[in-house]
Chains A and B, each alone.
Chain A
Amino acid sequence: MRRDDQYRLERLDRGIKIRTGGIYAISSWREMSYLMVPRLVLILGLLALPILMPSAYWQRVISMVCIYALLAIGFDLLAHFVGLVSLGGAFFIGVGGYLAGILSSYKGVPMVLTIPIATLGGAIICTLLLVPCLPLRGVYFAIATLMYPLILTRFIEALNIFGGTDGIVGVSGFPSQWIEQYLIITLVIMVLFSIRRLVNTDYGLVMRGVKDNDQAVRASGISITQVKAVAVFITSLMGCFGGAYLAHIYMWSGLSQFALDFSIIPIAATVIGGGGTLVGPILGAFILVPINELLRELGTLRIVFYCVILVIFIMFKSEGLMVYAERKYHQFQQWKKV
């Protein structure tokens, strides 16, 4: 850092930049690659991951990362575009997981049906159960959504239904490792790009309006509860898919699907990756979950490392990696003599 008074840091936009969504760069390869390279790196990188992984264990880790990535995108959508801080990740995963488990193990429904039914049905159940909480804002919504998985866990435990503490065994598994991997990876990519589109459509603007200033949205004659319900439905679709998928890869659904990890890690991933970017949470999940696995040898001590990493990020880089990276990509800076 130059502390000399005669210099100041100047930030300039790069010559090529897409300023509005309506203008597309198709005039030169340079401009096109400026836009396409980051996206292609992400897509091809994700698609190559299962091939690059050394062992079945690490391939499974990738599947877990993708589940967390879906939850984190959902968290980002709700928190940064609709203004609902949701701790309901565990709730979505649990409902999706149990539905898939019940359908597959008790009713013998084949997997091609259980996953879509659990995704859609789970999302409907989650949304209906969360509707009473929708007028809440900020930390109150967070606390209310945190209670749902706790309620359901104790409910299942106390009534000893759905296998009680043992969970539901005998859920059908994926026929091959590759189907398992590529199903969720393509889904993560598709979800990412469709949510990015969604938030810039006119309806997405209404969602962002609810976050910015819900009173003005109401004064415009739009029901904010309805907008919030749609957003919660979209988020729970992703979460319930994650749950159903989880049940099928472990061929088991049980109480640990309501574990708080599913609520907390998406938030941490969003903080590290950069909230409001949608791709940031994926990046965050790809950093956090593998670190968690690498540190597993250290036993309980890994939580310490984990927390230290989080605290450092929140204190020194609270904007998140992706916001930082985007700025570096779109702007260059130089010291200028004044």
Chain B
Amino acid sequence: MAEDQPLLRVADFSKSFGGVQALSRVSFDVHEGDVFGIIGPNGSGKTTLVNCITSFVKRDSGSISFKGQELKRGMPPHKVADLGIARTFQITRPYYTLPAYKNLVIPLLSPRARRTGGWRGGGKHGDRDTVGLDILEEIGFERDSFIPYKLASALPTGYLKRLELARCLAIRPELVICDEIFSGLSGSEIATMTPLIEKLQMEGVTLIMIEHRLRELFRVANRVMVLNFGEKLIEGTAEEVMADEKVKEAYFGSDQEVMDYA
């Protein structure tokens, strides 16, 4: 295996829903240890891209390889997750009828967690409740409080976003795709989330982050890709991207465009 082989290579991804071209020929590489940001205006295909990578939506064409292994088009989502690609959902999806720590028992029982966890990690013979509480503590649930024991339906948004991330961590992923994990959070909540992301990065987890909160994203991301109408505009560091004319145009519109419509 070559040194410079990317962890995730996406090539020529296309997807259309009826007449809407949600993605057209998007390609990018994510290297190990990256925090890769994906930004773009509403409806630019960011979430569709995540859904296509994780196989929740079948792509029309294009190829994807993870650690050099080709992921086939019809691969079921749980197989993709089993390889170590975890994702959060933009609309938080906890198990509402279960307490927060029991939410983690489900991913801890997955084949991947049982394989990689060992008994301490809640693997085959471990105590999944305890491991669940450990993960929750790591992610910012106060351990000695009642919060980890509360039903997920009773938790506020900030904790639900954390729970989403915790669910990803429970399967010991190599790549975590965060779909707008900061959206709907207050400034102070984001301020406590950012160190978590940095810590994950230090632990060697690669992250893809889809965000609208650009300032917070640029603090952690080392590479950023901009999507607009399903097309990749540019990829580079935060400074390069924000200096680009096309990006400004996509976000704020340009005089030229206004003229065209007039």
Contact = CB atoms under 8 A, between A and B. Distances in A.
Interface of A: 202-203, 205-206, 208-209, 212-213, 215-224
A219 B107 CA distance: 9
Contact of B110 (A208, A212, A213, A220): A220
B64 interface: no
Interface in B85-131: 86-87, 89, 93-98, 102, 105-113, 128
Contacts of B107: 220-222
Most B Cβ at <10 Å: residue of A218, A219, A224: A219
B171 interface: yes
Given A208-B98, A212-B97, A216-B94, A222 B109 contact: yes
B216 interface: no
What 5 A-B pairs have minimum CB-CB distances, sorted nearest first?
Answer: A221-B81, A220-B107, A221-B110, A212-B95, A221-B82
A221 B78 contact: yes
Contact of A220 (B102, B128, B167): B167
B54 interface: yes
B68 to A, nearest CB: 20
A205 B106 CA distance: 7
B253 interface: no
Contacts, number: 83
Contacts of B22: none
Contacts of B110: 220-222
Given A208-B98, A219-B87, A222-B109, A213 B93 contact: yes
Given A202-B105, A205-B102, A218 B77 contact: yes
Contact of A217 (B54, B96, B106, B111): B106
A222 B106 contact: yes
Contacts of A212: 94-98
A226 B187 CA distance: 42
Given A208-B97, A221-B113, 14 more contacts: A202-B128, A205-B109, A215-B89, A215-B93, A218-B56, A219-B77, A219-B81, A219-B87, A219-B167, A220-B78, A221-B107, A221-B110, A221-B111, A222-B78
Most B Cβ at <10 Å: residue of A212, A213, A216, A221: A221
A333 B219 CA distance: 54
A260 B8 CA distance: 53
Contacts of B54: 219
12 contacts: A202-B108, A205-B98, A206-B109, A213-B95, A218-B76, A219-B81, A219-B86, A221-B78, A221-B107, A221-B113, A221-B171, A224-B78
B170 A220 contact: yes
A335 to B, nearest CB: 27
Nearest to A19: B149
B112 A221 contact: yes
Contacts of B97: 208, 212
Contacts of B171: 220-221
A215 B109 CA distance: 16
B171 to A, nearest CB: 5
A221 B115 CA distance: 12
B76 A220 contact: no
Interface string B239-262: 000000000000000000000000
B78 A216 contact: no
A140 to B, nearest CB: 19
Contact of A216 (B76, B79, B95, B113): B95
A326 to B, nearest CB: 16
Most A Cβ at <10 Å: residue of B79, B86, B102, B106: B106
